[in-house]
Amino acid sequence: MTDKVISCRELTKRFGDFYAVDKITFDVSKGEIFGFLGANGAGKTTAMRILCGLSFPTSGQATVAGYDVYTQQESIKKNIGYMSQKFSLYENLTVEENITFFGGVYGVPAATIKERSRQLISNLGLTNEAKKLVAGLPLGWKQKLAFSVAIFHEPKIVFLDEPTGGVDPVTRRQFWDMIYEAAANGITVFVTTHYMDEAEYCNRVTIMVDGKVEALDTPGNLKQQFNASSMDEVFYQLARRATRSAD
């Protein structure tokens, strides 16, 4: 039996009479790379916030790392990592200071931070930049560092909200090598993206339309199901049915 690390049943979030997330149901297995796609306003961020223990659902059930999203939000937060395009690192701290700060926030002991921080900086090829402000790093390097920081405390799951926005396909591919490595080490990856090359890299992909899960399968099966040659085509076929967009 597979080890389910995220489990949702009819999970719903309503704002007034508007269903931002409408009865979504799925499971994610340990070490899986699970892509979460949808047009702007489809409900991805709202669902992700619930799964990260940052917001309560209106109805339905979900557990993350075995903890309940209604009653065990603090335990969820301790067992996950999170990286978003909008907020990830402090630009006015150095590379080293960011690692030390976030390691501390996530409860990693100081001695471990010191040891692993040196190793990480060397693995990332940032030894010469260790004492430089993050603000001066190219975007692709900031993203790699932000991802490394998000998994520094070895969480069970890492949530990535459009982690590679604004960089070219080659830099995205390098970022995905890091995702594969984390998944191979047993970390489950839950990722939202607007890039269809990235959708192809996921083990399974969910496509949300107007708050609902409209498709969920491997990229290969989805292409077959929709008689499409690329995930771009699959996405287009589904997303054009959407009636709402972001405000």
As measured in angstroms, the least distance from the Cβ of 104 to ligand ATP is: 29
Tell me how far apart the alpha carbons of residues 108 and 74 are, in angstroms, rounded to a whole number: 16
38 binds ligand ATP (CB under 6 A): yes
Tell me how far apart the alpha carbons of residues 128 and 122 are, in angstroms, rounded to a whole number: 9
Each residue of 9-26: b (16+ CB within 10 Å) or e? eebbbeeeeebbbbebeb
Nearest CA-CA partner of 77 in 46, 50, 52, 57: 52
Site for ligand ATP (CB under 6 A): which residue of 20, 62, 149, 157? Answer: 20
Select the span of 70-78, 97-105, 175-183, 239-247 touching ligand ATP (CB under 6 A). Answer: 239-247
As measured in angstroms, the least distance from the Cβ of 38 to ligand ATP is: 5
Nearest CA-CA partner of 95 in 118, 111, 77: 118
35 binds ligand ATP (CB under 6 A): no
43 binds ligand ATP (CB under 6 A): yes
45 binds ligand ATP (CB under 6 A): yes
Tell me how far apart the alpha carbons of residues 15 and 237 are, in angstroms, rounded to a whole number: 28
Site for ligand ATP (CB under 6 A): which residue of 40, 92, 123, 127? Answer: 40
**Total residues at the site for ligand ATP (CB under 6 A)?**
13
State which residue, 43 or 155, has the beta carbon closest to ligand ATP: 43
Query: In the chain, what is the greatest distance between 2 CA atoms, to the nearest angstrom?
Result: 54
As measured in angstroms, the least distance from the Cβ of 143 to ligand ATP is: 17
Indicate left, alpha or beta for 96 from its phi (over 0: left) and psi (-120 to 50: alpha). Answer: alpha
206 binds ligand ATP (CB under 6 A): no
Tell me how far apart the alpha carbons of residues 176 and 170 are, in angstroms, rounded to a whole number: 10
- The interface mask with ligand ATP, positions 126-155, x = CB under 6 A, is ------------------------------
Chain positions contacting ligand ATP, by CB under 6 A: 15, 20, 38, 40-46, 244, 246-247
